[in-house]
Amino acid sequence: ASASCSHGRALASPEPGRKILPRMVSHSELRKLFYSADAVCFDVDSTVIREEG
């Protein structure tokens, strides 16, 4: 099964061994997750820019 990232929410995965995270994690926990992750997904859209281009 595949999952996609969605606006900072932790993803519930039916796959064994996947960690389901609370909405907010501490800075140290976040660093551990980034360094140990096989992949990281970022939600990139136009909410951070003034106009589409």
Query: pLDDT truncated to tens, each residue of the chain (53 aa)?
Result: 344 444 444 455 556 666 666 677 788 988 888 889 888 877 776 666 666 65
pTM value is 0.37
Are the C-beta atoms of 7 and 43 separated by less than 8 Å? yes
* Counted domains in the chain: 1
Catalytic residue among 31, 32, 41, 43: 43
Catalytic residue among 45, 46, 47, 50: 45
43 is catalytic: yes
| Range(s) of the domain holding residue 33 | 1-53
38 is catalytic: no
